[in-house]
Structure 1
């Protein structure tokens, strides 16, 4: 293991992996991810399937749209499916 890095990301959940991915995308190479067990074995595992694409808050809606595009980008770069299936939805008042 390295003894000196530019950035250390603690936790290999969805947020930690996203931070590390975006650092690498920005050209950072001197980084490290520290996880106590398997990736997403902590709090991220129970959020599977809890992804929503409709939101009344415009900032949250932009973040969600970015996330959908990011999953497509990761699939193209890695050749691996993220298993995201957008099925639509209905909001009723």
Structure 2
């Protein structure tokens, strides 16, 4: 809806099956991140973060977006390979990621 309204549409409507946000969308509230092994998904997730910031700025209303960061851990060499690859892709896409040691994660 936001993109249609931004493009100048005025005759748009959101239809929910039941109560607003009673479907699957509320289950993932606050549960997204930008680091992903698929660069297309990572770009979409990064765009979503920027979109929330834009909506807050344009509307003057808070979306209650709080970017706290996160930690992903590896317990196998294969998982560590995945995290190295995701880290490299994230850096390529301009994301602020870093690999840390287990002792750094404890502090």
Query: TM-score, normalization: structure 2?
Result: 0.61
Provide Cα deviations, 1:66-87, integer angstroms capped at 9, x if missing partner: 1010000111111111111112
Q: What are structure 1's unaligned runs of at least 5 residues?
A: 1-19
Q: Which residue of 1 aligns with 2:57?
A: 76
Q: Which residue of 1 aligns with 2:76?
A: none
2:3 to 22, 31, 34: 22
Query: TM-score, normalization: structure 1?
Result: 0.68
Measure, in 1, the Cα distance between the counterparts of 2:14 and 2:20. Answer: 10
Measure, in 1, the Cα distance between the counterparts of 2:70 and 2:15. Answer: 37
RMSD: 1.5
Within-5 A mapping of 1:36-47? 36-47=17-28
Displacement after TM superposition at 1:90 (Å):
2.7
Give the number of the structure whose residues are more often strand, by fraction: 1
